[in-house]
Amino acid sequence: MTATRVTRHVEHCMGTVFSFAIADDGDWTEPLARAVAWLHHVDATFSTYRDDSAISRLRRGQVVQDPLVDEVLELCERYESETGGAFSANLPDGLDPSGLVKGWAIERASDLLREHGSRNHAVGGGGDMQLAGEPEPGRPWRVGIADPFDSSRVLTTVEGRDLAVATSGTAERGLHIVDPRTGQPAQGFASVTVTGPTLTRVDVAATAAFVLGAEGAAWLQEQGLHGIFVDLHGTLTRTH
């Protein structure tokens, strides 16, 4: 059997690195270009670091009419309700949907590749991944979960087909995850990884579970999602 040629691409965007691996034969130049352009469009629309972005203009009280902004803010409101306020776009320093945008953008990039005929690919960015199909016939995708205290070390792996994986933690950016209910940094865990079918949902769920602390595992189980928790002593536990 001839091995499938994997088309790969790496793109710097949103202050992080995005990766594409398409495990389908063919020329993927144009679909990849569209997916990359989509990511940059999302960054230009939602970046809180760009004065001309739609979100920055909204934060200044200006009127913004943009269907993508409406969609994202509606999703944020829905997830704020579903998480009991553990996830919110309304933070102490103002409107900031960043906790949803990256996962949502990656999931949409995966959808775009599917629309162009790809059934087997991985799209990732900043530790979050949307996986479709498999990297080669008969073998699932495998994703390493980094040790939040030593990023060069893989603590464990998850594997599957048509799977999303998202991690929230302090490894890269310190105490940056704020509990919207208190306005204070959440500090119960070093990292929380969540797996499920769609990245927008598991990305939000990873943030919410991190904020919920000791209550996070039970909440994930209620949502039908799987979690991997690493506490402040480096101990790993999984939900069942």
- Write the DSSP string, the chain: -PPPPPEEEEEEETTEEEEEEE-SSS--HHHHHHHHHHHHHHHHHH-TT-TTSHHHHHHTT-----HHHHHHHHHHHHHHHHTTTSS-SEETTEE-THHHHHHHHHHHHHHHHHHTT--SEEEEETTEEEEES-SBTTB-EEEEEEETTEEEEEEEEEEESSEEEEEEESTTTSS--EETTTTEE--S-SEEEEEES-HHHHHHHHHHHHHHGGGHHHHHHHHT-EEEEE-TTS-EEE--
Residue 119 lies in a domain: yes
Residue 2 lies in a domain: no
Residue 153 lies in a domain: yes
Residue 159 lies in a domain: yes
Count structural domains, the chain.
1
Q: Domain containing 187: what range?
A: 7-238
Give the model's pLDDT for residue 173.
Answer: 52
Residue 215 lies in a domain: yes
pLDDT in tens, 164-209: 999 998 655 555 788 999 988 888 899 999 999 999 999 999 999 9
Residue 56 lies in a domain: yes
Give the model's pLDDT for residue 2.
Answer: 56
Residue 1 lies in a domain: no
Q: Please tell me whether the overall predicted TM-score, pTM, comes out greater than 0.75 for this model.
A: yes
The per-residue pLDDT of the chain, averaged, comes to 93
Question: In this structure, what CATH number is given to the domain that contains residue 94?
Answer: 3.10.520.10
